[in-house]
Structure 1
Amino acid sequence: MPDKSNPNKTANPWTVLSTQPIYQNRWIRVVEHDVLNPAGKPGIYGVVHMQHIATGVLPIDADGCTTLVGQYRFPLGVYSWEIPEGGGALDEDPLEAVQRELAEETGLMARRWHPLLRMHLSNSVTDEVAHCFLAWDLEQGIAEPEETEDLQVRRVPFREAYDMAMRGDITDAMAVASLMKARLLALDGKLPKDVTALILK
């Protein structure tokens, strides 16, 4: 028999009693909520509010290759291969933000763009939103990474990057999701024919 105690299962089951700011810098704002949990018992919930949107781009060149960016990720203590990624102001157009990041990290500019996906990253503790795009019809310029970015740039066939994600050699969420989504869309015939041919090359 269906549970009728809460007919609207998508409603917020948490009750916030009070909220206290804990820490803030240019990138994050941490708050702690005193709450009643879905069972009605008291507890706390810490939330990290991001001060920027996250952006990622999967560039595909005329040879069917993509460009990966490698960098040491301080929070994890590991080196990570990823798609070009960055961020933008909360009120900035994600496409404009990601175009800037692609040029800064790789020197690439793209004439064709396609939105791939919108993601919530680590949604149990943060409200971070990521916007990922597919880019092709590329032109190479000069990279100008930020001083905090010690990057390696690596050009690999799309299939090799996809296989790296499948093996777990790429673990970054935006990179994995973008590679999987692009291949599925290509296989389903839901991308422009020219970029589909490059992805499935």
Structure 2
Amino acid sequence: MTEQVGQPVWQVLETRKVYDNPWIGVTEHDVLDPNGNPGLYGVVRVKGLAVGVLPVDGEGMTWLVGQQRFPRDYYSWELPEGGGDFDDPRGSAERELLEETGLTAASWQELVRMDLSNAITDEQAMGFLAWDLAEGTAAPEACERLEIRRLPVRDVVEMALNGEIVDAFSQAMLLKADLLARRGALPGDLARHFL
């Protein structure tokens, strides 16, 4: 565990692996919390990097992916995203964009690096802005049944603000890109689509 100078840290007394599959593992720890109290802490260890893409074309349109999400059993509209490789985040993002939408992009900019739920999991995410797009054929994974929508990026930012998009990773990418556009930190021809 890392420690900030002068701050108490968690002490791990014993660790047990309680579950493991190709995507996640669950580890349970007997601990002393930073105040010295004994406790139990479970951590979900995610084996891949979450990658996401905010694609924006020359008309200011973006793509949303709709799908049924298993853990909470609801239909979710999201930016293209999926599992990636820690050693090649952008290559993984390029693959996800192509698989889910059929798009390729000539221009890329990193938008966010996130811990998605740092109280119970070690899952990390990287999100990218992609433009100078070319359309091709989507090839979703066999387990995916996706619906694709092409909408003005301004409308999609509004969907994140009003709660129509509840996926935290999508919200972070959309709101960060919108803020960067307002601060003049995106290429001008791209920024105008957000303003």
Does TM, normalized by the shorter one, top 0.5?
yes
User: 1:136 aligns to what?
Assistant: 131
Letter in 1 for 2:5: N
Q: How far, CA to CA, are the matches of 1:191 and 1:64 in structure 2?
A: 13
Task: Give the unaligned 5+ runs of structure 1.
Answer: 1-6
2-side partners of 1:185 and 1:12: how far apart?
A: 36
Instruction: For 1:133 and 1:199, locate their aligned partners in 2 and report how far apart those are by CA, in whole Å.
Output: 16
- What's the RMSD between the two structures over aligned residues? 1.4
Match of 2:98 among 91, 94, 103: 103
Structure 1 Cα separation of the partners of residues 185 and 85 of structure 2: 30
Alignment of 1:79-94 (within 5 A): 79-90=75-86, 92-94=87-89
Runs (4 or more) in structure 1 with deviation over 4 Å come to none
Between the aligned partners of 2:47 and 2:157, the Cα distance in structure 1 is 31
| 1:8 pairs with 2:37 | no
What's 1:158 paired with?
A: 153
Residue equivalent to 1:67: 63
* TM-score, normalised with respect to structure 1: 0.93
Letter in 1 for 2:190: V
* Separation in 2, partners of 1:89, 1:114: 18
CA distance, structure 2, for counterparts of residue 183 and residue 88 of structure 1: 25
Unaligned runs of 5+ residues in structure 2 are: none
Aligned residues: 193
Q: Return the offset for 1:199.
A: 2.7
Q: Which amino acid aligns with 1:24?
A: D
Deviation at 1:12, TM superposition (A): 5.5
| Letter aligned with residue 78 of structure 1 | Y
| 1:112 counterpart = 2:107 | yes
Deviations along 1:79-114, one digit per CA (max 9) or x if unpaired, are 000000011133x31000000000000000000000
Distance in 1 separating the partners of 2:62 and 2:34: 45
2:54 is aligned with what amino acid? L
- Spell out, residue by residue over 1:97-137, the C-alpha distance to the aligned partner (whole angstroms, 9 max, x if none): 00000000000000000000100001100000000000011
When residues 12 and 100 of structure 1 are mapped into structure 2, their CA distance, relative to the original with a 3 A threshold, is: farther
What residue in structure 2 maps to residue 29 of structure 1? Answer: 25
Say whether residues 1:189 and 2:184 are aligned partners: yes
Q: What residue number does 1:4 align with? A: none
TM-score scaled by length of structure 2: 0.95
Sequence identity (%): 53
Instruction: Give the partner amino acid of 2:29.
Output: H
